[in-house]
Structure 1
Amino acid sequence: MPIVTIDPLKQTLAKTYRRVPLRAVLTVPLVLQIIGAVSLVGYLSFRNGQRSVEDLANQLMSEVGYRVEQHLDNYLAIPHKINQTNANAIELGILDVSDFPLAGRYFWQQLQVFEPASFIQFGSKQGDFIGAERLKNGAFAIEIKNAQTAPDKYSYAADPQGNITTERLGFKQNYDPRDRPWYKAAQKAQQPTWSEIYQFSTDTAVRLGITAVQPFYDEEGTFQGILGTDIVLSQLGDFLKTIEIGESGHIFIVERDEFLVATSKLSQPFLLDEGKAQRIKATDSDDPSIRSTVEQVQERFGRLSAIDRPQKFSFELARERQFVQIFPLSEGRGIDWLIAIVVPEDNFMERVNTNTRTTILLCLAAALLAILVSLVTARWITKPILRLNDAAKDIAKGEWDKTVTLKRKDELGQLARAFNGMASQLRESFNTLEERVEERTFELAREKEKAEVANQAKSTFLANMSHELRSPLNAILGFTQILLRSPNLNPQEQENVSIILRSGEHLLTLINQVLDLSKIEAGRIALNEKSVDLYRLLDDLEDMFQLRAEEKQLTLDFERDARVPRYIRTDEVKLRQVLINLLNNAVKFTNAGGVMLRVALSGESFEEIQSEQPPVPPNLEETEKQDGGKTVNLHFEVEDTGMGIASEELDCLFEAFVQTQAGKDSQEGTGLGLPISRKFVRLMGGEIDVRSQLERGTMFLFSIRAGVTDARALEERGKIGRRAIALEPNQPRYRILLVDDRATNRQLLVRLLNPFGFELQEAENGKNAIAIWERWKPHLIFMDMRMPVMDGYEATQRIKVTTQGNATAIVALTASVLEEEKAIILSAGCDDFMRKPFRENDIFAVMSKHIGVRYVYEDLAPQETTANGEELDAISPEKISRLPFEWANNLESALRQGDLELIATLVEQIRTEHPQFAKIVTHYAEQFEFDKILDLLAESHQERNYESDTL
């Protein structure tokens, strides 16, 4: 018989496995997993701590950099304001720089007001000099040099009233201001600028500083001298020392040529050499942190002048990581500095290292405990294995009381006890199933509550984002409206500014898209219907997109069926937004060909309507509203010759945050335009659809239900285009207080209201507003609600609690978009509520409403004249409606074909019965303004429809 052989290696392995205890098989892998998990947790804890420290350091440095930059912007602006103020005073005759006592006292008074200034001076072209100096001990000195009497400059102490005393503090021999760096800098620039950093000429102390200078010319334009205001660099260092940035972090300011300007560490950024100040280069600084930081900047960016935007990085110094952020500072008049913020990682790592050590100790303790538990568990689960099969079958039959009865102390005995425990747990699980269901239900309810809190946090974030974006838009739109008032703009410039205004309003609408989507999801968006001039709306959109189309060499055509009513009642904002979204996509994704917008009546294709010659009187698909008005279904088509949309992408086209492949390639858009457009169209009683072919183009189609109205209803709504140009006579001089922490917002209202003759005062916070109100008693207060020191809520409450305060109208100005905040503002005592950005007509309207201001308005439609100078009288729609219907259709056809001879023939046919209309048509035809004639014919159709409906 054959002999069966077994591989010796397999025999050896089988014997080895049989000798390994079951306890080791169960415990060793578990122990290895625990050790690995503990090590991974400790490492991740340390790395997360490092990342958190880096994020915290970057946030801290960004905040500190912003504070330093804001302070320096304000600090460096003051000297130039002082110079300009002095120049104005000289021009107005208030300040006579040749009268040294008067000029010295004038400069002394300015030093009392402007803290940053240390020296205010004037040097004439003849070599005369007068200046006032703030001494280091807090006293003041007046310095004078009369070139006609002596070549020296003398310094005298000033009394508490700023007058020159006989106490001489010092003098400079052969002093000539024309040789000083500040004088030469102004002569070279011939405009307001800064001098280089230099040592001040003073006997009281060695100080480095910089001078803001401005050349002064008389009325004939002849150069007279230089105005200057000094600031001391030590003041910048004192400010930097006040900023806390960790335990050992510091800030320093350096010029592009590496010379230090100020630092939060050194008392002065210079060395003394025989009484002369020698400036220090950052690379030569005794401070290793400053020196190493600049060297790192040079190594990474080549040179300091290469930094044109904020930069951040880190490096090792003495085996310690340093976080660095560099900010460029340039105010446009010669200042070109860099602000460097350096924070050692060790400032933040102490707590992280402590937490890491604690985590490691806890992990080790948990590992030891887990190992012990695993050993005990391994012994506990081995005993019942021999009886496991029988016991499992009994339990499978539902006999929950069955247990493994094996009295052994080895692994099998432990397994038996484990099995008994499992059986007991199963029994308890069935008994406590209902309790667990209730616990799970409670957990689900808690998760739902967390989701609602997260949703509320999202809404708060969106509201804050909108607030921060609306504030600068308020200035953009406001100053654009002020520009439109300027009589110095030619028509082309007027049109350009108008396009900027409309584009800014479009940008505001885009900002609102995200909020609109949130409102749509919450079911809180509603329809706001009002009378709308549809033709004007379409003309505005054509102007808005014409420039973009021309830039891409595209044609942009707007076609409108003559039977489309001009005046409708719908939500103008939502209709405009839908059209802007569709036109914007069409222009953006079209590189050749053109874009077309068509408007017709619903129920017929646009081609069918255009093919009808001549059109019959409109049979609008009108339905009665509950209020008895008429409605009509309007059909819109936006077609382009762009790249098209793939068929597989059409199904998800209207989903939020979903973009087509073309949109992703362009890296533009948010994916919200089309979803919001669909919601708006449905809200207006319609539906939107799309047809597209790749490389052929795309067409979006939608219909809305709109009410039919007439021009009279639109005029009653608000006098379209009326703009206030002056105040009516015989009114009191109204006092208006402007309260806002942002100077640009106050400046906007000042520019808007000042030409009307209002008395205006400003306040940057609620505390100052209350002080001015108590002293000045304004008629109306425009109150910003978010301000430092004291916000608008508290200021309004304090004013309104008094009897006099109830007589003062307070209008809240806020960039918030939350409806609930409106109720809070009104409950605080405000009389009215306006959102930023606001329009000038809104400001004038609220003033008229609350304090009775009356205005003079400009004419809406200036009288047009023919080429011979004859005035063109306006023709009422009623007169236009009396034109022969067939003749009007023939004229419309001739206009669309551009047949000038046929137009002239048709005009002669009605000249006898309608001379004024014939003159108007002739004038517009000669100017090739066919669209204006078509608008008149459209009004005749509209008026004829209105009269037939009335009958």
Structure 2
Amino acid sequence: MTYSQFALRKWYHRFMNKSIRTLFTVPLVILIVTLALVIIGVSYYNGHRAVGEVGLQLHQEISARIRQQVRTFLQAPHFVNALNTKLDVSNLENLAKQFQHQVNISDVPYVFYGDEQGNFIGVQRMEDKTVLKIRDHKSAPLRHIYEIDQSGRRILQLRNKTKEYEPRGRPWYRKAKKAGEATWSDIYASAHRNVLQVTPVAPVFDEEGKLRGVFGANFILSQISDFLKELKIGKTGQAFIMDSTGKLVAASIDTPLSKQLGKTKPRPLSAERSKDPLIQSVAQYITHEWGSISRFAKQQHNEVFKLDGRTTELSLYEDGRGIHWIIAVTIPDTDFTEGIQDNLLWTLGLSLLAILVAIIVGIFVAQHVTNPILQLNQHVKDLTSSDWKTWNLSMDINRKDEIGELALSFSAMAEQLAGLLGAFEDIVDKSVAGLRQANADLEAFSRSVAHDLRNPIGEVLGLADALLETYGDKLDMQGRQFLQLMLSSSEKSLEIIDSLLLLAVTSKEEVEIQSLDMRSIILSATQRVESTRKKYYGSITVAKTLPTASGHRAWIEEVWVNYLTNGLKYGGVPPSLEIGAKVKGSMIEYWIQDHGDGMTASEASKLFTEAARLDKHRSHRDGFGFGLSIVHRIVTKLGGGVGVESQAGKGSRFWFTLPLNKKVFSEKD
């Protein structure tokens, strides 16, 4: 036997000779402490790993969305230029008519053309009017600006806007002339507006290859900033864009993107000189790690790094025509780790509570247990092995300690138990009857409370809506957000109350079964979810022929509303829903097909139960889990069934069945 084995055995025997309280309490506390530490460690590790994965995915999704929107913004003016290069540039008036048509039907606000003779023609759509800008041999060197009507007729000359203007000296013209092909100008200030813009330009050549002029279609960079400000970037995240030289292009926060000295035109501001410390620190980090921002812009992959407690992703956007921009998305780690910290505190608190309970239980048990447990246990076995009327209630345990008291208590308990068993059945019967009555009273009370809650919540909703409509323009953005939160919360409360009422009604109410005009019901349901359809840019296609079933119209409309709402929320981006039906024996199966992410068999099996949700990990989805439960209860009561057919990544097909009506009803769209 080694020394360590000898020491362990000696310690074991010494411990086993301790008091009962120690033997019961210490091992239990050690076990619970060990389990608590393991649970806390695993929970903390898994939480951080999951948060890291979710955070990276969120960065990638936001960056991809920004790139897509920027691509959409920048493609439109180039498309306009491509169309204009095919026009006859010798007739400026005809060009003006074409330009006016383009600014009226597209998102491009300003289209123009300048030539080698110094002529210039352009049409610009403003908030309250459309103007024509022209410089020809008659007006040179001045450029005249006219307000025009929808037919292009000049109705007012804006003389205060008349200034000298030389198109051949503008940055956009020089850039196109130098490139000799469609490209982008550098970022520059408007000639008459103190805003930064970038112009896609396309040169036009004659048959001999000589430059005749340049088409342009202005793009105001503030449009990108407006988009970024509306984008939800975590809780407190930010995004900004800079070009390959480090000049700021757009930002999701209100910070200057340009600088202006005296009466000079504003110039793009370097990200390293930004007044926003976050933008400045990211730009300085890029310069420190890669030598310069332009050197980073030459690489072909994204970068993710930690800086000042934030995770920042840098991605590149190039359009093949001269745009080389860097998109930065930065989100504080606390946006993701708050839940982990809260969970850790809860786990720690529960662990301490478990340790305290273990100590109390160990002490309590130790106080009531002594060595002659087997003798007492034998008496208990004798009592349990025979009829209670023949129990031997005398115990040969003459002790003054805990076991003796327990023996006396056990004898008294046995005597009382014999008397209680006779009354047990009566007590059980009375309890069951009381529970049934209490359940009925509780259900009636719940319905009464739900009805009573509708009026005050409806009044709150109406008052908030009236306040927003009457005083909305006098409130700041936070005030309007608070009112919008009141409106959405009140509407959600009404939805919950309606769901609870419908659950109560479907469990008790008897309804009249009638022939169902299913197309009319679907039309009513689609009208009710119209706001949701617009929110998710969804489309709904209904089969031209639908057989007629038997049921209760109001309930079936609720079924369609729930199916349509789930389809619009989870049916793809954008959601595209198809509705159809088929006869199966004496039943009709109505179905709605989406093209979303679908679900696994395990997820599908959990649907149509109380408080079930489609996906608890989809953070942008809301709901309280009543919808599919209501669908199941309604259809089941009407003699049908419900179900879903789905595969992950291939969409879902939700269906329900109803008894077939003898008449078949159909109607054209």
TM class by shorter chain equals: 0.5 to 0.7
After superposing the two structures, state which structure 1 stretch, 234-243 or 289-298, moved more: 289-298
TM-score between both structures, scaled by the size of structure 2:
0.55
Aligned partner letter, 1:33: L
- 1:152 matches 2:139: no
Sort the Cα spacing of 1:169 and 1:384 in 2 relative to 1 into closer, same or farther, 3 A: farther
1:59 to 57, 81, 84: 57
- 1:161 matches 2:157: no
Sort the Cα spacing of 1:211 and 1:378 in 2 relative to 1 into closer, same or farther, 3 A: same
Give matches, 1:758-777, under 5 Å: none
- 1:111 matches 2:99: no
Q: What is the CA distance between 1:221 and its match in structure 2?
A: 3.5
Q: Which whole-Å deviations, capped at 9, do the CAs of 1:66-89 have from their partners, x for residues lacking one?
A: 221111112111111000111123
- 1:177 matches 2:167: yes
Q: Which whole-Å deviations, capped at 9, do the CAs of 1:207-227 have from their partners, x for residues lacking one?
A: 101010111123454321111
1:197 to 187, 190, 208: 187
- Map of 1:280 onto structure 2: 269
CA contact (8 A) 2:575 2:596 kept: no
Q: Percent identity?
A: 29
Partner of 1:196, secondary structure, is: coil
Q: Which whole-Å deviations, capped at 9, do the CAs of 1:894-950 have from their partners, x for residues lacking one?
A: xxxxxxxxxxxxxxxxxxxxxxxxxxxxxxxxxxxxxxxxxxxxxxxxxxxxxxxxx
CA contact (8 A) 2:146 2:155 kept: yes
Find the aligned partners of 1:286 and 1:379 in 2 and give their Cα distance: 70
- Map of 1:296 onto structure 2: 285
CA contact (8 A) 2:146 2:154 kept: yes
Partner of 1:251, secondary structure, is: strand
- 1:34 matches 2:32: yes
1:125 to 116, 124, 136: 116
CA contact (8 A) 1:38 1:367 kept: no
CA contact (8 A) 1:215 1:223 kept: yes
Find the aligned partners of 1:250 and 1:332 in 2 and give their Cα distance: 27
Sort the Cα spacing of 1:121 and 1:384 in 2 relative to 1 into closer, same or farther, 3 A: same
Find the aligned partners of 1:149 and 1:305 in 2 and give their Cα distance: 44
Q: What is the CA distance between 1:285 and its match in structure 2?
A: 1.5
Sort the Cα spacing of 1:144 and 1:405 in 2 relative to 1 into closer, same or farther, 3 A: farther
- Map of 2:494 onto structure 1: none
Q: What is the CA distance between 1:40 and its match in structure 2?
A: 3.8
Aligned partner letter, 1:133: Q
- Map of 2:219 onto structure 1: 231
CA contact (8 A) 2:148 2:154 kept: yes
Aligned partner letter, 1:332: G
CA contact (8 A) 1:22 1:411 kept: no
Sort the Cα spacing of 1:46 and 1:16 in 2 relative to 1 into closer, same or farther, 3 A: closer
Sort the Cα spacing of 1:169 and 1:381 in 2 relative to 1 into closer, same or farther, 3 A: farther
CA contact (8 A) 1:195 1:212 kept: yes
1:141 to 102, 115, 131: 131
Find the aligned partners of 2:297 and 2:392 in 1 and give their Cα distance: 86
Q: What is the CA distance between 1:277 and its match in structure 2?
A: 0.9
1:253 to 241, 245, 267: 241
CA contact (8 A) 1:122 1:227 kept: yes
Sort the Cα spacing of 1:299 and 1:150 in 2 relative to 1 into closer, same or farther, 3 A: closer
| Alignment length (residue pairs) | 425
Find the aligned partners of 1:415 and 1:297 in 2 and give their Cα distance: 77
- 1:791 matches 2:579: no
Partner of 2:325, secondary structure, is: strand
Task: In structure 1, list runs of 5 or more residues that go unmatched.
Answer: 1-8, 91-96, 418-763, 771-785, 798-811, 826-951
Aligned partner letter, 2:221: L
- Map of 2:82 onto structure 1: 84
Aligned partner letter, 1:282: A
Find the aligned partners of 1:407 and 1:297 in 2 and give their Cα distance: 86
Q: What is the CA distance between 1:171 and its match in structure 2?
A: 4.7
Aligned partner letter, 1:184: R
Task: In structure 2, list runs of 5 or more residues that go unmatched.
Answer: 1-6, 409-536, 544-570, 582-592, 599-644, 655-669
Find the aligned partners of 1:410 and 1:139 in 2 and give their Cα distance: 101
Aligned partner letter, 2:284: E
CA contact (8 A) 1:151 1:176 kept: yes
1:311 to 303, 306, 309: 303
Sort the Cα spacing of 1:125 and 1:16 in 2 relative to 1 into closer, same or farther, 3 A: same
- Map of 1:929 onto structure 2: none
Q: Which whole-Å deviations, capped at 9, do the CAs of 1:648-669 have from their partners, x for residues lacking one?
A: xxxxxxxxxxxxxxxxxxxxxx
Find the aligned partners of 1:55 and 1:816 in 2 and give their Cα distance: 19
Partner of 1:89, secondary structure, is: coil
Find the aligned partners of 1:384 and 1:290 in 2 and give their Cα distance: 77
Sort the Cα spacing of 1:13 and 1:281 in 2 relative to 1 into closer, same or farther, 3 A: closer
Alpha-carbon RMSD: 4.6
Aligned partner letter, 2:109: S
Sort the Cα spacing of 1:407 and 1:255 in 2 relative to 1 into closer, same or farther, 3 A: farther
TM-score between both structures, scaled by the size of structure 1:
0.39
Find the aligned partners of 1:311 and 1:73 in 2 and give their Cα distance: 20
Give matches, 1:546-557, under 5 Å: none
Partner of 2:250, secondary structure, is: strand
Partner of 1:88, secondary structure, is: coil
Q: What is the CA distance between 1:257 and its match in structure 2?
A: 1.8
- 1:327 matches 2:325: no
CA contact (8 A) 1:383 1:414 kept: no
Q: What is the CA distance between 1:145 and its match in structure 2?
A: 1.2
Q: Greater relative contact order: 1 or 2 (C-alpha under 8 angstroms, separation 6 or more)?
A: 2
CA contact (8 A) 1:326 1:341 kept: yes
1:70 to 68, 71, 76: 68
CA contact (8 A) 1:378 1:411 kept: no
Q: Which whole-Å deviations, capped at 9, do the CAs of 1:291-345 have from their partners, x for residues lacking one?
A: 22233344455543254223323332xxxx2122222111111111111111223
2:94 to 78, 102, 110: 102
Sort the Cα spacing of 1:189 and 1:413 in 2 relative to 1 into closer, same or farther, 3 A: farther
Sort the Cα spacing of 1:22 and 1:214 in 2 relative to 1 into closer, same or farther, 3 A: same
Q: Which whole-Å deviations, capped at 9, do the CAs of 1:350-395 have from their partners, x for residues lacking one?
A: 444444333333332222112211222334444336759x969x99
Q: Which whole-Å deviations, capped at 9, do the CAs of 1:459-496 have from their partners, x for residues lacking one?
A: xxxxxxxxxxxxxxxxxxxxxxxxxxxxxxxxxxxxxx
Q: Which whole-Å deviations, capped at 9, do the CAs of 1:765-807 have from their partners, x for residues lacking one?
A: 968999xxxxxxxxxxxxxxx986673736x99xxxxxxxxxx
Give matches, 1:257-656, under 5 Å: 257-266=245-254, 268-275=256-263, 276-303=265-292, 304-305=296-297, 307-316=299-308, 321-384=309-372
Sort the Cα spacing of 1:98 and 1:410 in 2 relative to 1 into closer, same or farther, 3 A: farther
Sort the Cα spacing of 1:408 and 1:341 in 2 relative to 1 into closer, same or farther, 3 A: farther
Q: Which whole-Å deviations, capped at 9, do the CAs of 1:810-834 have from their partners, x for residues lacking one?
A: xx9x999999999989xxxxxxxxx
Sort the Cα spacing of 1:17 and 1:171 in 2 relative to 1 into closer, same or farther, 3 A: closer
CA contact (8 A) 2:205 2:213 kept: yes
CA contact (8 A) 2:24 2:366 kept: yes
Find the aligned partners of 1:249 and 1:138 in 2 and give their Cα distance: 35
Partner of 2:93, secondary structure, is: helix
Find the aligned partners of 1:359 and 1:142 in 2 and give their Cα distance: 69
Sort the Cα spacing of 1:406 and 1:126 in 2 relative to 1 into closer, same or farther, 3 A: farther
Find the aligned partners of 1:267 and 1:329 in 2 and give their Cα distance: 22
Q: What is the CA distance between 1:255 and its match in structure 2?
A: 1.4
Aligned partner letter, 2:125: R
- Map of 1:529 onto structure 2: none
Aligned partner letter, 1:179: G
- 1:243 matches 2:254: no
CA contact (8 A) 1:310 1:326 kept: yes
CA contact (8 A) 2:16 2:23 kept: no
Sort the Cα spacing of 1:353 and 1:121 in 2 relative to 1 into closer, same or farther, 3 A: same
